[in-house]
């Protein structure tokens, strides 16, 4: 409606101007050699307008004819660009589908049509070369992309993938850091660098990267602390292997301060204290951990930390374990430890009371084995021993150190599993582990870094 009104206004304005010119009096005389031309003012202006219109039309026609080759080239460039981008799209789709033949063909078409888009074409050519198993050619193409500042990151990413696929983790880490310098705020690059630093056992650098991940909120606090403890212990083991006892102690102490309830950390530092003859420090650590997470692995260490009994004090060992049990009196682990000591000390009646109580709270393999030992020592009844051992074979499975990625059971915790996974060993029931790695968010160290490792469950 508005457009129609505007058109009417313009038409009325033109008519008004034409009427005004027609009403103007006067003439225009053109004296040219023997000719004298006389025009009415309005007619002259109208004729001049018509002349200008046709002159402009003629100029446009001539210009169009002269510009035809250039227009044709421009049209060809536009169509070629459309064909080239279509080839890129189809080629990348073929790569995603694993169609090496189709990807190679589309790369050739893209190269023919996209003469000015060299970086995108190189990316398709490199990916198709990788799909065809031509890793060396792909690496050369990705390396050439580094020369283009606008496409350098594509080259870095391609070379990074190539390095990880060929097992060059040191080179992959260098490339990952280069990519991170280009895009320092991209969390996924930060995660790749973090996992590669772990893979290369660059623990100090990995802790700094972990701090950045934690600060940006890309990793949960409990997961970050779990990884930090595992890294301190792993670095301590490296120091011990190198004979650096000072750093070995320093790093174990840092791991313990990060998480005083993590049993593997307590065990390692506690053994070191015992090796140095400091039983009081080891006992203090065990007591602090036992209050929060009673764990069967702490019991042998508690036995070693026992002070030398006074002469004639036959109940010293029982009292020592009563001290441990008093820290968490209702926990089954304390009762099991107490029952085992009472059986060894010949206090069978007291041991039987503890075993009966445990039988109500939490039947287990260890419980029935203790029953069998009690019967063997107190009554010597082989039939009763056999019955208890049969019960032990049918008892519910107990918690173990298990890798939540592979399901492999270990005698003890370690920061990096035998299969190369970092911080994936947890204290858990074998039947409760999850098999879906996409849900577990694991950090693999033996190959290309995946996602985050699961947060460690509290031992015990």
Q: How many CA atoms lie within 13 A of 445 on its CB side?
A: 21
**DSSP count for the chain of H helices, then E strands:** 21, 5
Q: Which of 11-15, 106-110, 395-399 has the highest mean pLDDT?
A: 395-399
Query: Is it the case that residue 289 has pLDDT exceeding 80?
Result: yes
Instruction: Find which of 68-72, 90-94, 346-350 is predicted with most confidence, using mean pLDDT.
Output: 346-350
Give 120 or 234, the one with higher predicted confidence: 234
Q: What is the DSSP letter of 451?
A: S
For residues 395 and 157, give the distance between their C-alpha atoms in angstroms, rounded to a whole number.
Answer: 52
9 pLDDT above the threshold of 70:
yes
Three-class DSSP category at 158 = helix
pLDDT score at 116: 66
CA–CA gap between residue 419 and residue 182 (Å, rounded): 33
Higher pLDDT, 436 or 251: 251
Q: What is the mean pLDDT of residues 12-26?
A: 73
- In this model, does residue 186 exceed pLDDT 80? yes
Q: By C-alpha distance, which of 208, 198, 256 is closest to 231?
A: 198
Considering only CA atoms, which of 213, 216, 176, 179 is closest in space to residue 193? 176
- 343-386, pLDDT tens digit by residue? 999 999 999 999 999 999 999 999 999 999 999 999 889 999 99
Q: What is the pLDDT of residue 75?
A: 65
CA distance 7 to 9: 5
Measured over the CA atoms of residue 281, residue 282, residue 285 and residue 286, the dihedral's sign is negative
pLDDT of the residue at 46: 72
pLDDT over 70 at 458, yes or no: no
Instruction: Indicate the pLDDT class of residue 80, thresholds 50, 70 and 90.
Output: confident
DSSP secondary structure code for residue 340 in this structure: H
| Average pLDDT, rounded, for the chain | 84
Q: What is the mean pLDDT of residues 157-175?
A: 86
Dihedral-angle region of residue 312 (phi above 0 means left; psi in -120 to 50 means alpha; beta otherwise): left
Q: Are 445 and 199 within 8 A, CB to CB?
A: yes
For 42-69, the pLDDT digits (tens) are 777 777 777 787 888 888 888 777 777 7
pTM: 0.72
Q: What pLDDT is attached to residue 7?
A: 79
Question: What percent of the chain clears pLDDT 70, i.e. is strictly above it?
Answer: 90
Residue 445 has pLDDT above 80, yes or no: no
Give the mean model confidence (pLDDT) for residues 17-23: 70
Question: Does position 460 have pLDDT exceeding 50, yes or no?
Answer: no
Element (H, E) at 398: none
User: Is the model's pLDDT at 444 over the cut of 70?
Assistant: no
Rounded distance between C-alpha atoms, residue 109 and residue 93, angstroms: 14
Rounded CA-CA distance 414/424 in Å is 9
358 in Cβ contact with 340 (< 8 Å) = no
pLDDT attached to residue 442: 35
CB-CB contact of 266 with 292 (8 Å) = no
Which is more confidently placed, 162 or 351? 351
Contact in structure between 305 and 315 (CB atoms under 8 Å): no
Mean pLDDT for 318-324 is: 95
CA 428 – CA 367 distance, rounded (Å)? 18
**At how many degrees (to 10) do helices 332-344 and 348-361 cross?**
160
What's the pLDDT tens digit per position in 227-242? 999 999 999 999 999 9
- Residue, of 152 and 258, whose pLDDT is higher: 258
């Amino acid at each position: 409606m508005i457009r129609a009104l505007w058109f009417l206004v313009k038409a009325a304005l033109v008519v008004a101007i034409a009427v005004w010119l027609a009403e103007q009096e006067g003439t225009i005389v053109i004296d040219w050699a023997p000719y004298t031309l006389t025009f009415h003012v309005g007619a002259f202006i109208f004729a001049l307008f018509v002349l200008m219109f046709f002159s402009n039309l003629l100029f446009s026609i001539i210009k169009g004819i002269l510009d035809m080759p250039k227009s044709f080239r421009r049209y060809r460039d536009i169509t070629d660009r459309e064909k080239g981008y279509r080839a890129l799209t189809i080629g990348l789709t073929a790569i995603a589908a694993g169609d090496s033949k189709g990807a190679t063909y589309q790369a050739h078409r893209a190269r023919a049509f996209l003469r000015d888009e060299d970086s995108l074409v190189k990316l398709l050519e490199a990916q198709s070369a990788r799909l065809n198993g031509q890793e060396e050619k792909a690496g050369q193409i990705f390396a050439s992309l580094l020369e283009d500042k606008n496409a350098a990151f594509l080259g870095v990413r391609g070379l990074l993938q190539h390095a990880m696929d060929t097992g060059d983790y040191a080179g992959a880490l260098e490339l990952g850091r280069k990519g991170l310098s280009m895009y320092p705020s991209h969390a996924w690059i930060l995660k790749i660098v973090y996992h590669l630093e772990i893979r290369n056992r660059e623990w100090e650098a990995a802790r700094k990267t972990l701090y950045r991940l934690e600060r940006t909120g890309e990793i949960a606090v409990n997961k970050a602390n779990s990884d930090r403890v595992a890294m301190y212990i792993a670095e301590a083991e490296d120091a011990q292997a190198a004979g650096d006892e000072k750093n070995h102690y320093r790093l174990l102490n840092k791991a313990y301060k990060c998480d005083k309830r993590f049993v593997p950390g307590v065990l390692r530092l506690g053994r070191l204290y015992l090796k140095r003859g400091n039983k009081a420090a080891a006992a203090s650590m065990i007591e602090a951990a036992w209050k929060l997470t009673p764990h069967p692995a702490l019991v042998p260490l508690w036995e070693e930390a026992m002070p030398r009994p006074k002469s004639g004090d036959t109940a010293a060992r029982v009292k020592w374990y009563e001290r441990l049990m008093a820290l968490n009196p209702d926990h089954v682990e304390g009762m099991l430890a107490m029952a085992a000591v009472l059986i060894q000390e010949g206090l069978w009646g007291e041991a039987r009371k503890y075993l009966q109580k445990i039988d109500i709270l939490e039947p287990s393999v260890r419980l029935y084995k203790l029953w069998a030992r009690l019967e063997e020592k107190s009554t010597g009844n082989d039939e009763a021993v056999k019955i208890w051992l049969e019960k032990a074979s049918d008892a519910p499975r107990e918690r173990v150190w298990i890798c939540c990625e592979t399901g492999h059971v270990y005698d003890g915790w370690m920061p990096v599993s035998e299969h190369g996974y970092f911080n994936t060993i947890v204290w858990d029931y074998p039947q409760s582990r999850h098999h879906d790695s996409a849900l577990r968010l694991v950090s693999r160290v033996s190959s290309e870094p995946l996602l985050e490792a699961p947060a460690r469950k509290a031992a015990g």
